[in-house]
Structure 1
Amino acid sequence: MARAGRPGRNDQPRRQLPGPVRRDHQPGLVRGAGEAAPRRCQVATVLPAAHFLTHVGLSWIFANLARVSPRDRLIIVLAGTVPDLDGLGILWSEYAYTAAHRAAGHGMLFLGLIVAVALLCGDSPSGTGALAAVSFHLHLLLDLVGTGGLPIKYLWPLSDRGWSYSGHWVLTSWPNVVLMAATGLGVLAIAWQRGQGARRRLG
């Protein structure tokens, strides 16, 4: 029978020697694939916002290609950006988002509403209505080619049939990055040109 006695040297708990502790040995710190999750979440938030700003920028560039009044220019820009209002269903549920996005604001019914606003409120009704319709379809084209995702239900609510393009770019692909950068440069160039024109008029 073994006798109970004082613990031996090997039974004593080891004490931590003083000195710097390596980051990967800190208690409670787990390194691995999980660290990339917050970064992926940030990218997933930033890219759709950048895509929306590309819609705004392209609509602004297109509106400045024509000699129109500030009111008509605003209508043309809105025609290329407000279709994404149908994505606000995400504030309620994912089902509301998938049911309405690229349907309620991306179809011919919403196009008719935009053209009606242009005809009623534009300084040059017919010309502004036509340019607003082109701006609207530029939005659809960028959605088809630039992101893919949900199909565009152009005939909604008469039909639930959707259109998509199998060769679309991925949102993080280099063509999208180039397009976003080129759009930003185009907006800056137009702003600089308009500023130069204003200074010449004042001078």
Structure 2
Amino acid sequence: MPSYLRKLGIEGLDGNSDVSKLFMELVHLRFIDHLILRGFHFRTMPCLDGLYNLQIDILKLDGLLASLPNFPYKIESLTLVNSSLDEDPMPLLGELGCLTHLKLRNAFTGREMVILHDGFPDLNVLCIEEMWNLKNVQIEKGGMSSLEKLEIKNCPSLESLPEEIGSMALLKELKMVTTKSIATKIRNSDLISKIWKVNINP
């Protein structure tokens, strides 16, 4: 691999893929900062704990995960797609102190996500999509204190926003794609009265 490579995408990973050698090679690529790993169809991806040793800023994982890997602590942007995790990923992801952008699409199959009081200290943008079973998002006081933009798309069981939304001083933008009845309920909520830009469809 060229030592000047900045962005790398790898497809077709499954449980039989040996990624340990790959991660060892990537450690020596001083300039790479953007990594995309995609699983093979509906097979579970291999153990990705070797990611922890990489000096990358942007990471996208697209595929089934048995559990969350050990992410590089200084990662700034993380996207999880089709992970279908059974366990709430938010407590662990909230420990990534440098994370500014987080996108979760079909990443969690459970009904409740909890953001702890000290979770996601630098997170600016959170996007949640296609969480079909998600009914409740709880944000403890002080959690995601730097959040500026929240996007929620196609989460038909999520009928209300977390109460903490109303006291987030930096939250400037809310985007939602949901059912008509939920959209009406959210528009009439006092929680969004202080948000400068609100776009809810339909």
Whether these two folds match at TM > 0.5 is no
Quick one: higher RCO (CA 8 Å, sep 6+), 1 or 2?
1
Larger radius of gyration: 1
Higher percent of residues as helix: 1
**Taking structure 2 as the reference length, what is the TM-score of the superposition?**
0.21
